[in-house]
Structure 1
Amino acid sequence: MNGAAPTDDRTPVAEADVCIVGAGPAGSLVADRLASAGHRVVVLDAGLRFDPSERIRRQERAIRPYYDRPDVWDGDPERDAYSATGEWFYPLNHARVKGIGGSTLHWQGMVMRLHEADFNSGSERGAGPDWPIEYADLRPYYADAEAELGVSGADIPFGPPREEPHPMPAFPPSYSDSLFAAACDELGIAMHPVPNARNSESYDGRSECVGYGTCQPVCPSGAKYDGTVHAESAEAQGARVIDRARVTELEHGPNQVEAAVYVTPDGDEHRQEADAFVLAAGGVEIPRLLLLSESDHYPDGLANSSGLVGRYFMDHLFAGAGGRLDEPTRQNHVGFLTSESHQFYDDADEEFAPFKLEFFNYAGPSPVEMALSGDDWGDELLGRLREGYGNHVAVGALVEQLPREDSYIGLDPDRTDDLGNPVPDVHWNVGDRALRTIERVNDIQHGILETLGAEIEWTVGPEETGPAYHHMGTTRMSADPSEGVVDATLRTHDLDNCWIASSSVFPTGGAMNPTLTIAALALKAADSIEASL
């Protein structure tokens, strides 16, 4: 197949080998890998194909207080309607992007490997299940994923073993990192670089980071990786990527998916047939699609003989504290993290969860945010900026939430989207282990800030915590078909031509940002799919 420029043709691809649902990093990586092997690949995504030339305009929108975060990437409240009925409210649309590139269009870009014990949490920590794979099984795919995404980093003293250096050198510590380092040295807390999927030097035809500082939610330069890199590479190798193709059902027999049914903006319904199918639409939309695809063969939802599709929904929980120093900190000059600490990570056990500390470079408002949020002008505005900007500090953390069967993605029986389909119901429950850990994290964070001499002004503790918007666990991996939805190759237990590439397959979440593991698993799944074709 020859690569072709994107068109408005949204009709099905004839004689497709592989149909992929979702053009985020996982779906795009699988598409690129299989297209490069000569397979006829089609990718269907519910969202838009965003014009790269508009990123500056989106950046300008992002820094204006009038716009909420979903507005930046054209969120659609009718298309993206949802319910949240759990013990904890889940603001799903706050950090959801539907479009070619997926959530990597607005992600922060941190890419850590899970630790070895994360794969054996049950046996090593006495908490949660073990994965059906070991770190060693994923280790070569981690290296492959780092090369594909382009990762700037350095050795993490507490991290798992590596086979080679990161593709690019780590970003140097920020000025505020040097302030934190003095306090951490006094407390015996080790700081180290953050692996970032952004270019510290030119890489793979993309520029080095030029310091816009608006990484969340817009990187105008393209130095931060997003899924469009591999979506476009897949297209150059002959894959077809169709935007605004909303898959509403997977037609199937008892053992195989036969077609993905999708609706286009003109209201037409199409059927995309293929030999193999890959679900890569994330930890909410994948279980929703499977549940919407119920049939006589699968009355409780497709691939759901275990009854666990949608169950064990997890996220990472945030813990943080911040305040002010009586000196400039240069906060908000850098839009991403350059230092963190995994020192306490492997102390996790049955009572306390793993967590990692994050030293913020963007505490407090930026000068632009301050200028646009007031109604003063001239000398009065300048005085307010001088008084209120530049002396903020903050320490954050991500904390693991254990899987719970009563934390799940279901279908709302009463509410539908603009196509008349039941919306996802996010029923999010958080366990005591995570909340105890947040208290412990806050104590460490307060100790750092007090040693630094900061006046602590705010704390996000167990009662104020919220999600990091990492949707995990809803189609989890298992060796026993009764205990999960996919096997160790990411193929569904029930269907021999359907794979899932997503953090939805994580049996446990650890406390590391999930995208590098998603990418590694996607490349592992691509090998499995390739072998089956």
Structure 2
Amino acid sequence: MPKANLHDLAPETELACDVCVIGSGPAGATIARELAGGSLRVILLESGGEERQPAVDALNEIESIGWPRETDQWLVRNRILGGSSHTWAGRCAPFDPIDFEARDWVPGSGWPLTHDQMQPYLVRTAPYVGLGIGADYSDDRFWAAAKRPAPQPALNEDLLTPFFWQYSKDGLNRFDLMRWGPDLLAHLPDTVRLLTNATLVRLQLDPHGRKVRSAEVAARDGSRRTVTARSFVLCAGGIENARLLLCSNDVERCGIGNRRDLVGRYLMDHPRGILGHFDPAASTEIRRRFGLHHVRFGPHSYRFRHGFRLSPKLQRRERLLNCTAWLDEEVMPDDPWRALNGLLRGGSRRMKDVRAVLSHADVLIRGAADLVLRKRGLTRRLRALHLVGMTEQVPDRESRITLSDRTDRLGMPLSRIDWRVNAMEERSLRRLAGLVAAEVARMGYAAPRLDAWVERNEGFPASFRDVAHPTGTTRMADDPAEGVVDAQGQVHGVDGLFVAGSSVFPTAGHANPTQMIVAMAIRTADILKERHRALAPAARHDSPAREVAHV
């Protein structure tokens, strides 16, 4: 298998290739696999290894000076083979058409791509992300895809539209979410050399700052190696992509791609928190309608979560952001399905789990009927049932990543994160909460009791945090005065340097970003293949010794 620990390579090993991909998470792993099957030679760099390492985890340390963020970085970013798929929740959804539009009430909105242009790439994401269907499932089209009649009464789609998230399923372990590390090892192409424990510390520009000459990479012991390539692709995540460009300041004092002071700016995430609370005892019917659904595609069944979205009509009419809400179940400690899962996994609560299963066998029977006959989520013993909301953010120039005065053990400045939340985000989620409460009551379900901050027209409570979706820090735009990368994902003014991942998204939408990250990665791989086909004639006239990829 073409993989190695960088530390184990002899110092004289030449590391030259056509394409160097930095990061083995969903974006990097997808690009590496998409580039297989041709003549391109690829080096894939991963800062971590196949197992978690505390010294590597420490390289993700941040300084947070804005709205509070999750302090345990392992919960949001993973330096390990497969990247942050180790801790992701598996929820997937494509972006909505309105997310790509320039909206006059959302400063900085508008992609240089359209929803229709992205559709073919979304379809191609299914095997990479572990989905049963790659597109056309996130609204009323779900019922046609599931081959079921749409339930009645319907939502008033002038106000709210139905939304569906699909949960990933691992191709190697059908009881788990997709984990890109094992999946990558199982499908690693011969043309890709995977180097683990290889941390990029800086990109080296030519003297004119117009092309990346090489990448300086640190091994586990801190020793340095050099990787040369015709193209480089940063796939290190929404925080690290910006940090690496800012740290690469030998030629450009302000960092690569940062002549207009845009790298690290426009940091967005998805503020998420509780909007209200349902009475668990009166929630059976609403959970059956707006809970989990199971759909079979081919030999496997996939889970979908049904929720609510502010309609595009209302967003335009009231100048609101795209946001969603769903039912979030908090199960009891003696829930029999939790207990049964514990018994199957050989957990340490064996006697308690046995008692829970025996005491609440009726819940298991009803749950099995829901799952097998109705293709819905399981009946559970609930402690609470919350209405939870999540919103996109306004691109805010002052919400940003800069470099700290402190450094990590490799001498790289830490990321200083000043994440901002805005009044439009609060207003949009309050409006969504009120509409959901009114609509479910109109449809005959028990309405939620809205949370105090919603009722009092207050700002977000401190419980609202980021959900590990850092976005926008190397944003995409046709005009270099408006973005760091162009519509191809190439850094403006730097030939052959590409960026992939959510950092290039001009706006974040409300959707969990992983499926869109993978769709954009597939598109980037297509662009790279076309680029290198165009470069091939020129390469034949260069010195063979300088162009052969020694991987």
1:460-508 deviation line (CA, Å, top 9, x unaligned):
8622422221110000001111211110000111210110011100111
1:72-93 deviation line (CA, Å, top 9, x unaligned):
9968663221100124445461
Stretch of structure 1 that moved more, 108-117 or 17-26? 108-117
**What stretches of structure 1 of length at least 5 have no aligned partner?**
51-71, 200-204, 211-218
Q: Distance in 2 between matches of 1:157 and 1:140?
A: 16
Find the residue that maps to 2:246 and give its secondary structure: helix
1:298 maps to 2:252: yes
Contact 1:82 1:425 in 2 (8 A): yes
Cα distance change, pair 105–151 in 1 and its aligned pair in 2 (3 A): same
Q: Distance in 2 between matches of 1:391 and 1:454?
A: 17
1:240 maps to 2:186: no
Find the residue that maps to 1:433 and give its secondary structure: helix
Match of 2:119 in 1: 139
Q: Distance in 1 between matches of 2:138 and 2:33?
A: 33
| TM-score normalised per structure 2 | 0.75
Contact 1:305 1:482 in 2 (8 A): no
Shift of 1:206: 3.6
Alignment of 1:403-414 (within 5 A): 403-413=395-405
**What stretches of structure 2 of length at least 5 have no aligned partner?**
294-301, 343-348, 361-379, 455-459, 533-551
Match of 1:53 in 2: none
Contact 2:2 2:194 in 1 (8 A): no
1:82 maps to 2:62: yes
Shift of 1:122: 2.7
Find the residue that maps to 1:275 and give its secondary structure: strand
1:202-239 deviation line (CA, Å, top 9, x unaligned):
xxx545x44xxxxxxxx3xxxx2232266325623331
Match of 1:279 in 2: 234
1:154-206 deviation line (CA, Å, top 9, x unaligned):
844747xx9xx99x976999xxxx9xx8998799966454323226xxxxx54
Q: 2:80 aligns with which of 99, 103, 124?
A: 99
Contact 1:28 1:230 in 2 (8 A): no
Q: Distance in 1 between matches of 2:160 and 2:496?
A: 49
Shift of 1:449: 7.6
Q: Distance in 2 between matches of 1:283 and 1:305?
A: 19
Cα distance change, pair 497–348 in 1 and its aligned pair in 2 (3 A): same
Stretch of structure 1 that moved more, 276-285 or 133-142? 133-142
Alignment of 1:270-419 (within 5 A): 270-295=225-250, 297-320=251-274, 321-326=276-281, 338-342=305-309, 344-345=311-312, 347-349=314-316, 351-360=319-328, 362-367=329-334, 389-413=381-405, 415-419=406-410
Cα distance change, pair 490–5 in 1 and its aligned pair in 2 (3 A): closer
1:109-145 deviation line (CA, Å, top 9, x unaligned):
222111112111335x554331111122222111112
Shift of 1:269: 1.2
1:393 partner letter:
L
1:16 partner letter:
C
1:10-35 deviation line (CA, Å, top 9, x unaligned):
56653311111110010011111113
1:148 partner letter:
Y
Match of 1:194 in 2: 165
Match of 2:2 in 1: 4
Shift of 1:437: 1.1
Greater share of strand residues, 1 or 2? Answer: 2
Identity fraction in percent: 26
Alignment of 1:137-286 (within 5 A): 137-153=117-133, 155-156=136-137, 158=139, 191=162, 193-198=164-169, 206-207=172-173, 209-210=174-175, 219=176, 224-228=177-181, 231-232=184-185, 235-253=188-206, 254-286=209-241
Cα distance change, pair 185–86 in 1 and its aligned pair in 2 (3 A): closer
Contact 1:88 1:430 in 2 (8 A): no
1:115 maps to 2:96: yes
Match of 1:439 in 2: 430
Find the residue that maps to 1:306 and give its secondary structure: coil
| TM-score normalised per structure 1 | 0.77
Shift of 1:438: 1.9
Q: Distance in 1 between matches of 2:182 and 2:499?
A: 21
Match of 2:506 in 1: 507
Find the residue that maps to 1:133 and give its secondary structure: coil
Cα distance change, pair 73–113 in 1 and its aligned pair in 2 (3 A): farther
Q: Distance in 1 between matches of 2:292 and 2:34?
A: 37
Shift of 1:418: 2.2
Q: Distance in 2 between matches of 1:126 and 1:312?
A: 13
1:197 partner letter:
S
1:425-479 deviation line (CA, Å, top 9, x unaligned):
1110111110111211232454578764477596786224222211100000011
1:426 maps to 2:417: yes
2:48 partner letter:
G
Contact 2:307 2:325 in 1 (8 A): yes
1:346-392 deviation line (CA, Å, top 9, x unaligned):
532473111122233x42455489999xx9x979x979x98x94353
Match of 1:474 in 2: 473
Contact 1:10 1:242 in 2 (8 A): no
Contact 2:94 2:515 in 1 (8 A): yes
Q: Distance in 2 between matches of 1:229 and 1:121?
A: 39
Find the residue that maps to 1:198 and give its secondary structure: coil
1:303-338 deviation line (CA, Å, top 9, x unaligned):
212210000000111142334422686999999752
Contact 1:313 1:428 in 2 (8 A): yes
Q: Distance in 2 between matches of 1:353 and 1:390?
A: 32
Structure showing greater Rg: 2
Find the residue that maps to 2:116 and give its secondary structure: helix
Contact 1:110 1:196 in 2 (8 A): yes
1:351 partner letter:
R
Match of 1:497 in 2: 496
Q: Distance in 1 between matches of 2:331 and 2:440?
A: 15
Q: Distance in 1 between matches of 2:113 and 2:494?
A: 20
Instruction: Output the aligned Cα RMSD.
Output: 4.1
1:4 partner letter:
P
Find the residue that maps to 1:358 and give its secondary structure: strand
